[in-house]
Amino acid sequence: MDNTIVVNVAFNIENPLHDEIVNTSLEIRDEYGSDWFVDDERYVLHYPLYLFEAPKENEKKIIEISKRWVKNLKQVEIEIEDMFFNQFGLVMIKFSKNKQIYDYHCQSLNLFNPLREGLLREKYRNQNFVQTLEKDEQKKLKEYGHIYVLDRYEPHVTIARIKDLDVCQKIVNEYKGRLIGKQSRINKLQVHKAVFGPEGKTILMVDVVIK
């Protein structure tokens, strides 16, 4: 809808791991033809905390709250735990879920969920899809506009989208050994406005260094 925005509250990852993830994503794009990749131009690397849809008129409030919140954040050590893909062909790098990261996730829900004003992203407005969800997932969807929150939150970075799941498995087998165990820190709060579809891109709304 033209009067709404999709917002991704996320962290940036400190180098050299940031660039290694970007280069891995681009390598997969070039070798396997993924139609979603991380290049920090069209698609910005992000370590997400909370993805939601909100009225466009709340954009200024989202930015203001983000800039106040970042003053209370600290840089946190992170480590790659695994690499996997889902049924939609999204290839993701999974990070260990430490207490501080989980606390920041919960804080993001408390801060930004009220600005959603009950809105749901397009795919979650499809009742045929909603009916396939478990009761707990439907409850999370109603309360937060997202399924992967609280106990279902997994720190991750999406690096590719491949329609053929056999190819996804090949990619995971090829790359996970290079990445598992790599460590870094979150060093910025980055809030994006996400555009999906053929014209998809991520637009930075907030980009603030965490002290």
Q: Are 59 and 116 in contact (CB under 8 A)?
A: no
What local confidence, expressed as pLDDT, does residue 195 receive?
Answer: 73
Helix axes 17-32, 165-179, angle to 10 degrees: 150
Which parts of the chain register pLDDT below 70? 1, 196-199
What local confidence, expressed as pLDDT, does residue 5 receive?
Answer: 94
Q: 76 — phi, psi (to 5°)?
A: -130, 140
Q: Domain of 204: which CATH number?
A: 3.90.1140.10
What local confidence, expressed as pLDDT, does residue 126 receive?
Answer: 86
The total number of structural domains that make up the chain: 1
Q: Is the pTM of this model over 0.75?
A: yes
Q: Following DSSP, what letter does each residue of 21-47 receive, concatenated?
A: HHHHHHHHHHHH--SS---SSSS---E
Q: Are 168 and 71 in contact (CB under 8 A)?
A: no
- What's the domain range around 130? 4-209
Q: Are 181 and 19 in contact (CB under 8 A)?
A: no
Give, rounded to a whole angstrom, the gap between the first and last alpha carbons of the chain: 36
What local confidence, expressed as pLDDT, does residue 34 receive?
Answer: 93
| DSSP E strand boundaries for 75-200 | 76-85, 90-95, 156-161, 183-195
Under DSSP, the state recorded for 20 is H
Token reading at 198? 């053929």
What local confidence, expressed as pLDDT, does residue 196 receive?
Answer: 64
Cα torsion 128, 132, 137, 138: sign: positive
What local confidence, expressed as pLDDT, does residue 129 receive?
Answer: 84
106-153-33-204 Cα dihedral, nearest 10 degrees: 0
What local confidence, expressed as pLDDT, does residue 114 receive?
Answer: 98
pLDDT tens digits, one per residue of 115-166: 999 999 988 888 888 888 999 999 999 999 999 999 999 999 999 999 999 9
Under DSSP, the state recorded for 210 is -
